[in-house]
Chains A and B, each alone.
Chain A
Amino acid sequence: MGIVSTDLHKAGAIAVSVKDVGMVFGDVHAVRSASFDLPKGKFLTILGPSGSGKTTLLRMIAGFDNPTSGEIFINGQPVSAVPPHRRAIGMVFQKLALFPHMTAAENVAFPLKMRRHDARTIGEKVERYLELVRLGGYGGRRINELSGGQQQRVAIARALVFEPDLLLLDEPLAALDRKLREEMQLEFRRIQKELGVTTINVTHDQREALVVSDEVIVMDGGEIQQKAQPVHTYRSPANAFVANFIGVTNFIDGKVSAISGSTVSVESNGQLLSGVTAADGAPLVPGTACSGAVRAEQIRIASARAGLEGLETIVEGQVADSIFEGERIVYEVTVPVLGGAILRVFNHDPVSHLQFGPGENVRLGWNAKDMHVFKK
């Protein structure tokens, strides 16, 4: 027992630790050797397309599936042998899974009843948590008498009322319309900060991942592609998948011609472009096939004679299409010197009222540090 207690003491700051966890369904590897640590009180988002294994990973942490390899530790204790109802984990489900035969208050009271709290404590806590999710006075409503957003709030209150070690969110916002979804994202953030509960959120919505999280894990094909803070994930993607999945990114294919430090020279269609190596990416050597990734908003667009001062890479092109999206204009520009590649460019300049029409000759420019070079 002595060993266990010192372990606990050492692991005190880590709420969840996933070690080499794998999940195989038949001959499909849903999750391959996933490992990460999540400190207490942090909000982690697992981001990935459908089929990337993110929900499987979450279900294993919740205890609904057991990993076929590896181990999950919660508060330093291995949990493989612990059934879901004995793990102190609150979960908000994709379809919320509210109990339709109970009122909002009865739903929130359910986990407390299962833990045999006395009636007075239950009443007080239910009221406090309905208050927390701003549903004071709605306790007596039946579930089908509540709006979508209100149901979300009941589900959050129910998952938190028993003060779980960990809160899991399984894409509960996916079904909401955009405005309500953005409102609920901030609500999740507020409640999580207020209670300081360690949270793991699963989503395929990159915006949600960036807005709500302290840390983001990007998954694809059952493997963790990158784990970093949102800003880092966005600004320094570890590989082409991450660069492509988050944000709108242009890829320019070529070959590495020279490397010095983090600066890379890429040869594409006879043009030399400079970029930087990806911070957490695979190592590059001269001659390897690579692609340079530049985000659409990091390319400046200007008329054919404009200077574009201060930008290191400048190419000329022709507008193929311009799409007005309200707060920004999206250009698709054909660049002959890059083998006719079409680059997407966002223009957020609201002051000049300038818009280039299809067929117009323009110049595009970007900084070398904004082109991340990945091994192909």
Chain B
Amino acid sequence: MRHSRVAYPLTWRVMDVFERLAAAVWPSSFQRGLPYLMLLPAVVLVGLLVLGLIQIGDSSLRTLDTSTFMMSENYTLANYQRALSEKFFATVAGRSLMGAVIVTVITLIFAFPYAYLMVRTPSSALRKFLLVALFLPFFIGQVVRAYGWLIILGNQGMVNEALGLVGVPPMRLLYNYPAVLFGLVQYMLPFAVLMLAPALTAIPAELESAASSLGAGWVRTFRHIVLPLARPGLVGAGLVVVTLSLTDFAIPAILGGGSQDFIANAIYDQFFRTSDQGLGATLSLLLVAVGSILVGVVFMLFGAGTLAMGDERK
């Protein structure tokens, strides 16, 4: 007996105690309910979101009385009519959608080689460097980073000073559409790389060797093998980047300087500047609708399996 006590480590005995405790608190007949219980927090969180959405839906159907600053009692579609007919909102929506698409395309083009190099490099030092460089921006908040760009791109900023040294007069690099897009691309790049890397890891390097032994140079190996097999990753990364840029607030606000508002900025203005909760809620719902339709269309075109969900593709 003493022998077996010695062979039985302390940590195992501690775990035994825990297991006995767990058995007392949660008898094995309840075991089958455990997975559902673990699902509960997520269900509660999503439920709260739905509740909020109902609240917003309610507000969107009431107009603001500008004399009393009270919401109307009766339901009306006036807010929707305003949102869809006023030229200002069409401009903002167009700018956001166009911006999201341009940012997505540029981000994917930049992210692909980065992710590819990170996955395929034989040097673990380079891989670590690329990973750290990727995660570093996450430690710096989006707002702080946008202010950083103000310092770099401002009229007296580093770029203009450097240009001044070679005799180029100061240029206005901020508060325009390209500046916003630039800031967004820089912000989205890590997300896209992180979504692409697993998809590229899933492509065996042997396939590329095989393609080259079968007569394909690297351009055609890329076109016929890597690109089609990376499609799930590209679609997933594209979706994330499109939705994040479409709904972004800080970058258009700071780098656009109020002249390049995206939908989120317009919503903010309605809620906190004009205090028109109804119109703000309407714009929010429309944004959710546009985003959902976009995701829905992508899923219909490529299948939900593109996000590596389900195993229709082995």
Chain A residues proximal to chain B, CB less than 8 Å = 62-64, 83-87, 89-91, 93-95, 97-101, 110-111, 114-115, 144, 158-159, 162
B212 and A84 form a contact (CB under 8 A): yes
B213 and A89 form a contact (CB under 8 A): yes
Can you list 18 A-B contacts (CB < 8 A)? Answer: A63-B213, A64-B209, A83-B212, A85-B211, A87-B213, A89-B213, A93-B206, A95-B204, A97-B210, A99-B210, A99-B225, A100-B229, A100-B313, A100-B314, A110-B216, A110-B224, A114-B220, A144-B314
CB of A165, distance to nearest CB on chain B (Å): 12
Q: Report chain A residues within 8 Å CB of B206.
A: 93-95, 97
Beyond the given pairs A85-B213, A99-B207, A99-B211, 16 more chain A to chain B contacts, judged by CB atoms under 8 angstroms and listed by A's residue number, are: A62-B213, A83-B212, A84-B213, A85-B216, A87-B213, A90-B214, A91-B213, A93-B206, A93-B209, A93-B210, A101-B229, A110-B211, A110-B214, A110-B216, A111-B215, A114-B215
User: Does B228 touch A at the CB level, under 8 Å?
Assistant: yes
A85 and B215 form a contact (CB under 8 A): yes
Closest 9 CB pairs of A and B: A97-B210, A114-B215, A111-B214, A97-B206, A84-B212, A91-B213, A85-B212, A114-B216, A101-B228
Q: Report chain B residues within 8 Å CB of A83.
A: 212, 217
Could you say which interface size class chain B belongs to?
A: 10 to 19
Closest A residue to B225 by CB, please name it: A99
Q: Report chain B residues within 8 Å CB of A63.
A: 213
CB of A17, distance to nearest CB on chain B (Å): 20
Main secondary structure of the interface of B (DSSP, over half): helix
Q: Report chain A residues within 8 Å CB of B220.
A: 114
Q: Report chain B residues within 8 Å CB of A159.
A: 213-214
Q: A95-B206, A100-B229 are in contact. Are A162 and B214 (CB under 8 A)?
A: yes
A162 and B215 form a contact (CB under 8 A): yes
Other-chain residue from A86, A87, A91, A115 in contact with B210 (beta carbon distance below 8 A): A91
Q: Report chain B residues within 8 Å CB of A100.
A: 229, 313-314
Chain B residues proximal to chain A, CB less than 8 Å = 204, 206-207, 209-217, 220, 224-225, 228-229, 313-314
Instruction: Give Cα A115–Cα B313 distance, bound, in whole angstroms.
Output: 29
A85 and B217 form a contact (CB under 8 A): yes
CB of A177, distance to nearest CB on chain B (Å): 20
B209 and A158 form a contact (CB under 8 A): no
Q: Report chain B residues within 8 Å CB of A99.
A: 207, 210-211, 225
Closest B residue to A168 by CB, please name it: B213
Instruction: Give Cα A83–Cα B215 distance, bound, in whole angstroms.
Output: 10
Q: Report chain B residues within 8 Å CB of A158.
A: 214
Instruction: Give Cα A91–Cα B211 distance, bound, in whole angstroms.
Output: 10
Q: Report chain A residues within 8 Å CB of B209.
A: 62, 64, 84, 93, 97
Instruction: Give Cα A341–Cα B314 distance, bound, in whole angstroms.
Output: 54
Instruction: Give Cα A63–Cα B215 distance, bound, in whole angstroms.
Output: 12
Q: Report chain B residues within 8 Å CB of A110.
A: 211, 214, 216, 224
CB of B201, distance to nearest CB on chain A (Å): 15
Instruction: Give Cα A91–Cα B217 distance, bound, in whole angstroms.
Output: 16
Instruction: Give Cα A184–Cα B129 distance, bound, in whole angstroms.
Output: 46
Q: Report chain A residues within 8 Å CB of B214.
A: 85, 90, 110-111, 114, 158-159, 162
Instruction: Give Cα A162–Cα B215 distance, bound, in whole angstroms.
Output: 9
Q: Report chain A residues within 8 Å CB of B216.
A: 85, 110, 114
CB of B211, distance to nearest CB on chain A (Å): 7
CB of A164, distance to nearest CB on chain B (Å): 9
Q: Report chain B residues within 8 Å CB of A87.
A: 213
Q: Report chain B residues within 8 Å CB of A101.
A: 228-229
Q: Report chain A residues within 8 Å CB of B210.
A: 91, 93, 97-99
CB of A145, distance to nearest CB on chain B (Å): 10
Q: Report chain A residues within 8 Å CB of B217.
A: 83, 85
